[in-house]
Amino acid sequence: MKKILAIAAHPDDLEFSCTATLHKLMQEGYQTRYLVITNGENGFKAGNLPAPQRIQIRKEEQTRSARKLGVEQVIFLDYKDGFLEYSEKLRLQLVEQIKAYQPEIIFSFDPANLQFDNLNLFHRDHRVAAQTVFDACFAAKNNWMYPGPAHRVECLYFYGSHQPNHFEDINTLIDFKLQLLACHQSQFPDFSKVEHFIREVVSAQSRQHKYTEAFRILRVEQLT
């Protein structure tokens, strides 16, 4: 069975970016696993709760959305939201996950995004996660850098990209995508605003289709 590892900096990143495309690939037979790097506790908007409760709620929301999509396993690395740093520890953890699961496809934020024209899209956690995932994919296919058999990911789907080269038609899945995003209730005091943003901005980047998910797809070649 072919596999996808969908990597997010926070709970809800994947729902904003790629769940309709994941659904289509899963319909083709791909097994999918989620890997969420931070707990997202500092994006919490549903009351003044202590951090452990915020973390628990965000994990429950992410797990609920994943199950609705058909994703059976969600791995949380438990880093602090808003304080992610590029580190050898994080790269090692990602390499270990890639080697253990052996996905053909990885979904991740685009490490080439350095426009700094949107505080939400280009904030620190997203940038650090994107770069570390990219470096982990290189390290995982190397025979000597880390223990365990090497694994080469075949394809990277970078979401949140300013230079997408693929627009996946999600016209028939936009409502389902929004249902998955709505599982993150602690994030959206007024979900109608989020729905409008998804329909009119995020998913309206192509003239060919009314609703799309946009990616910069990178195929990983092994020349030697």
- pLDDT confidence of residue 152: 97
Domain boundaries, the chain: 3-219
The pLDDT assigned to 121 comes to 80
* CATH code of the region 3-219: 3.40.50.10320
Residues of the chain with pLDDT below 50 are none
Strand partners, 215: 166
Number of neighbouring beta carbons within 10 Å of residue 200? 9
The per-residue pLDDT for 224 is 65
Q: What is the pTM of this model?
A: 0.96
DSSP 93-116: HHHHHHHHH--SEEEEE-TT----
Residue 187 identity (one-letter amino acid): Q
Residues 122-172: pLDDT tens digits? 899 999 999 999 999 999 999 999 999 999 999 999 999 999 999 999 999
User: What stretches of 52-201 adopt beta strand conformation (E)?
Assistant: 73-79, 105-109, 155-159, 166-169
